[in-house]
Structure 1
């Protein structure tokens, strides 16, 4: 089943964590699932939440390049340079048929 259309989310996560760990100021980074929800743990010398989130977004975009994926990052908590985010990669939902309600994103307009 491997081919150009095949995608493993674990490979995306590995690339994402690798890219994050290479960022300047990042001391340690890993992810784990808790109750089925993926959490990103990041230890950084950067103290600005906005800067941390831009770094996460930049690395997520680079790790998803060429794939039809989206990423969602939600701040959970921070303490002494240790940041926790709920982070996930997901396939965007798209309409597959016309329901007849004249929706702006109707399949007929593609």
Structure 2
């Protein structure tokens, strides 16, 4: 995100421009620093969630491959695996809320 994008978003949400030491009207530098730190933190959260979702996807693909073209011999085991996948996805969705 560029400083201009941060500026526009900040102004749209009530931040005010202040006169800077060079005489220009702009947001204080700490506003940009804060926005970039917040973006960085959220990118880490997104990366972690993507890794977890990838694991869930691999597990789901494994379950499908194991049961593909075969009769279900152990429905309890399959149910358990599917329940585990649902639980992991649910945890990812509610983790931050």
Instruction: Choose between structure 1 and 2: higher strand proportion.
Output: 1
Q: Using structure 1 for the length normalisation, give the TM-score.
A: 0.26
Instruction: Choose between structure 1 and 2: higher helix proportion.
Output: 2
Whose radius of gyration is greater, 1 or 2? 2
